[in-house]
Amino acid sequence: PVCSMGNSTSRLYSALAKTLSSGAVSQHQDCLEQPDSARLDPIDPKELLEECQIVLQKRPPRFRRNFVNAKENTSSNHRPIRVMQWNILAQALAEGKDNFVQCPMEALKWEERKCLILEEILAYKPDILCLQEVDHYFDTFEPLLSRLGYQCTFFPKPWSPCLDVEQNNGPDGCALFFTKDRFELVNSANIRLTAMKLKTNQVAIAQTLKCNETGRLFCIAVTHLKARTGWERFRSAQGCDLLQNLKSITQGAKIPLIICGDFNAEPTEEVYKEFSNSSLNLNSAYKLLSPDGQSEPPYTTWKIRPSGECRHTLDYIWYSQHALNVNSALGLLTEEQIGPNRLPSFHYPSDHLSLVCDFSFNQDPDRLL
């Protein structure tokens, strides 16, 4: 059933609630943007947020998270660029495969869960949004976010596990959104990752953008590497392939780079070390939260499955440390906020926490690596 919503956005939401069939989604396998959305009227983000809050009125309010500022002075002559990274949890997997034993099925209803996801995005107002496990792109995220002023790109997994779930909404994949008033798209590449020279089921999107305010170019990439223990070498090979692609796209790091992703890898894994030691001179933005600026957060995902409790650091925002500064990073939910039943929950829509960082360009663009 469609949730009743207030005046101006209710017609929009009624239309969005009618999810597309798998057949409709399969027509978009080439990931072309839907032309219809561009002709629709813009949405006021405050109105949409109010609409979401009406739907969520029986749920507990969002937890407050604070930004942690960099210790060193990162003043710049332009507005910071806010980047959000989030594995939002595919709806088909949430209800059909992931088996969150402590999460009531009621908390996973899409009509409410999508509003929790939108509320989180609207709360932080990212200039660039990188999402994984998106299986409601064509009926929810593209129509809404395009009307909020974002340019939208989607690249589905070739063999999405969502398609094994009855009444699925099509394949899940990576999605990348940027605000058209701040950036101009210069180049876009959809990358199907390889491992040991074999094409895999994991993908990435890499886009070169021009910042309208500064005229500077930079590349933003989003990916989601292979999950599960025992696949460490596979993830390592996928990471090497992605780095090779990004070296080419950024002309060997001449163009600054930000990479967002669910790497499904702890910092002890080989793929993490490959990114840390890459010739692209990358650093991980969320080290900012640690006292010495050298270690990752204790967790970015926390869930309970039949096999037990899983608390891991798997999600990262990498950046070119010679060309970009991290001004601030959004603090994580505390264990107390997450609660004993862990994620997802009535409070929070995904088993992964969103990561949000504010970046600025280094004032010396010609500084050498």
What's the whole-number mean pLDDT along residues 271-298? 96
What's the whole-number mean pLDDT along residues 53-78? 88
Query: CA torsion angle for 333, 219, 211, 281 (degrees, to 10)?
Result: 80
Residue 183 and residue 127 in contact, taking contact as beta carbons nearer than 8 Å: yes
Per-residue pLDDT at 40 = 77
Strand 150-156 to strand 173-179: parallel, antiparallel, or no bridges (unpaired)?
antiparallel
Find how far residue 359's CA is from the centre of its chain.
16
Mean of the per-residue pLDDT values of the chain: 89
pLDDT band with cut points at 50, 70 and 90 for residue 360: very high
Tens of pLDDT, residue by residue over 331-343, are: 999 999 998 999 9
Alpha carbon distance 143, 150 (integer Å): 10
Residue 166: CA atoms inside 13 Å, Cβ hemisphere, count?
A: 0
Strand 355-361 to strand 324-330: parallel, antiparallel, or no bridges (unpaired)?
antiparallel
Number of residues written out for the chain:
369
Q: Please give the single-letter amino acid code of residue 71.
A: K
Look at 68-82, 229-243, 302-316, 351-365 and tell me which has the smallest mean pLDDT.
68-82
Helical H segments across the chain, by residue range: 7-17, 22-26, 36-39, 45-55, 91-96, 110-124, 142-147, 232-249, 270-276, 335-338
For each of the domains in the chain, give its residue range(s) and CATH number, in order of start.
80-362 (3.60.10.10)
Per-residue pLDDT at 173 = 98
Tens of pLDDT, residue by residue over 197-249, are: 899 999 999 999 999 999 999 999 999 999 999 999 999 999 999 999 999 99
Tens of pLDDT, residue by residue over 77-136, are: 889 999 999 999 999 999 877 778 889 999 999 999 999 999 999 999 999 999 999 999
Nearest of 174, 144, 141 to residue 157 by alpha carbon: 174
Per-residue pLDDT at 366 = 54
Has this prediction a pTM greater than 0.75?
yes
DSSP 140: I
